[in-house]
């Protein structure tokens, strides 16, 4: 998808304690908005600054971060454009609020765009907790002729937590394995977990994510 990148997103920002601590970037699933994950973010990271973003794409009235052709069939050109657009917004928000590079917490569609940023824009995220994510790209994260960006570092490899549902009808085992393989090939240090659940979140997700985020937000 061609066009100038617009770094304006509807979003919600809540300062942390201390205000300049590493922030948690909240990325909602299909049909959500910038308010959906704030209670979860505050539960899992009580002291972190929260930056929660609303996706710009509408699908039958439901908000998303990028387009898809059908369930499980992503518009990868639009995803590349939207991932870069969101990455540029994060850079602008960091300058505006005086923030460190964030750790993302994404669910479903939000987890997919976070994964796309990990692959396309290394260094934008200091880490990511990805719930019910699928592989964002069937091949390379870069379109023909694009040049991969040089990673920025945050004191070590970027950490990612991937939590999948054992009975998730939307993410096949093969797709999940491709996601893990692509992230690791990009130099991401991945922790892979599966919980007894479908596509929705359950308590086991929170039990895994809480301690992981506590460590990720320290770095």
Helix (H) or strand (E) holding 96: helix 76-97
Distance CA 154, CA 63 (A): 31
Catalytic residue among 11, 97, 154, 199: 199
Catalytic residue among 36, 168, 182, 205: 168
Helix (H) or strand (E) holding 91: helix 76-97
Distance CA 14, CA 46 (A): 11
Catalytic residue among 108, 164, 182, 205: 108
Active site residue 28: no
Locus of tokens 């990271």 = 45
Active site residue 52: no
CA angle centred on 115, ends 84 and 140, rounded to 5°? 75
| Partner residues linked to 51 by β-bridges | 13, 25
Active site residue 168: yes
- Cis preceding linkage at 18, omega within 30: yes
Positions marked active-site:
108, 168, 199
């Amino acid at each position: 998808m061609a066009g100038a990148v617009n770094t304006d997103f509807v979003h919600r920002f809540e300062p942390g304690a201390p205000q300049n601590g590493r922030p948690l970037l909240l990325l909602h699933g299909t049909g959500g908005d910038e308010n959906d994950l704030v209670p979860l973010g505050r539960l899992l990271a009580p002291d972190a600054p929260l930056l929660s973003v609303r996706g710009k794409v509408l699908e039958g009235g439901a908000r998303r971060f990028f387009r898809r052709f059908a369930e499980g069939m992503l518009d990868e050109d639009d995803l590349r454009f939207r991932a870069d657009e969101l990455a540029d917004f994060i850079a602008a928000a960091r300058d505006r609020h005086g923030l460190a590079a964030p750790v993302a917490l994404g669910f479903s569609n939000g987890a997919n765009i976070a994964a796309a940023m990990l692959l396309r824009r290394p260094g934008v995220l200091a880490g990511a907790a990805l719930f019910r994510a699928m592989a964002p790209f069937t091949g390379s994260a870069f379109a023909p002729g694009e040049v991969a960006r040089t990673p920025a570092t945050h004191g070590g490899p970027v950490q990612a937590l991937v939590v999948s549902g054992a009975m998730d009808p939307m993410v096949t085992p093969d797709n999940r394995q491709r996601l893990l393989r692509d992230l690791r090939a990009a130099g991401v240090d991945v922790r892979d977990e599966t919980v007894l659940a479908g596509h929705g979140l359950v308590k086991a997700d929170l039990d895994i994510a809480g301690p992981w985020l506590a460590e990720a937000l320290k770095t």
